[in-house]
Amino acid sequence: MNEPRESAARLLRFRQALERLIQDVLPGPGDSVAGPAVPIDVFVREGSVEVIVEVPGFRADHLEISAAGGHLVLEGHRPAAPGLPGSVLCLERPVGRFRRVVELPVAADTRRAVGALRDGVLTVSLPRVRDRRGAAQRVPVFPDDAGDPQ
C-alpha cells in the first residue's frame, strides 16, 4: 500500500492536471475555474479605479498584470510548497495558476496603471479618463468641387 505522503503527492499532481484540463477546455475572458481563489474588490474613485486582490503567499515575480480595452487581466502562479519530512495530514493551501479578468466599470488609462504588492494584498490603480464614447464628434463635410479630402 502507498505511504500517505506518496498518496498526497499523487492526488496533488492529479488535481493540477485536472485544473490545466479545465483551463484548456473552458477558456474565456472571465474568471478561471481552476487554481487558487483570489478574491477581488473593485472601487471607482473620483480620479481612479482601484482593484484590490488578496494574494497571500505570492511574490511580485509570481504575478503578471496586463490591461487593455477596458479589461484588467490578473494572472499568477503559486508554486507547491517543498516537501517536508513527515506524513502529510492536510493539504488545503491551493497551488497552481490562476487567471482573473476584471471588466473596468469606467474609462481608465491602462497605460498608466500601477500595481503594488504589500502584505499579501495587490492593489492596482488605474487613472480615470474622461469617457469619450458616445460623445458627439463633428464630422467635416467637403463639397464636391473640393476634391478628395485626402
The structural domains of the chain, ordered by start, are 4-79+97-130 (2.60.40.790)
**Which pTM value belongs to this model?**
0.63
Provide the pLDDT for residue 2: 52
Tell me the pLDDT band of 29, cut-offs 50, 70 and 90.
very low
* Arithmetic mean of pLDDT, 97-118: 90
125: pLDDT strictly greater than 70: yes
Q: Where are the beta strands (DSSP E) in the chain?
A: 40-44, 48-54, 63-68, 71-78, 96-103, 114-118, 121-127
Q: Return the exposure string of 110-136: e unless at least 16 CB atoms fall within 10 Å of the residue's CB, then b.
A: beebebebeeeebebbbebeeeeeeee
Tell me the pLDDT band of 34, cut-offs 50, 70 and 90.
low
Among the residue ranges 11-20, 36-45, 53-62, 94-103, the one predicted with the least confidence is 11-20
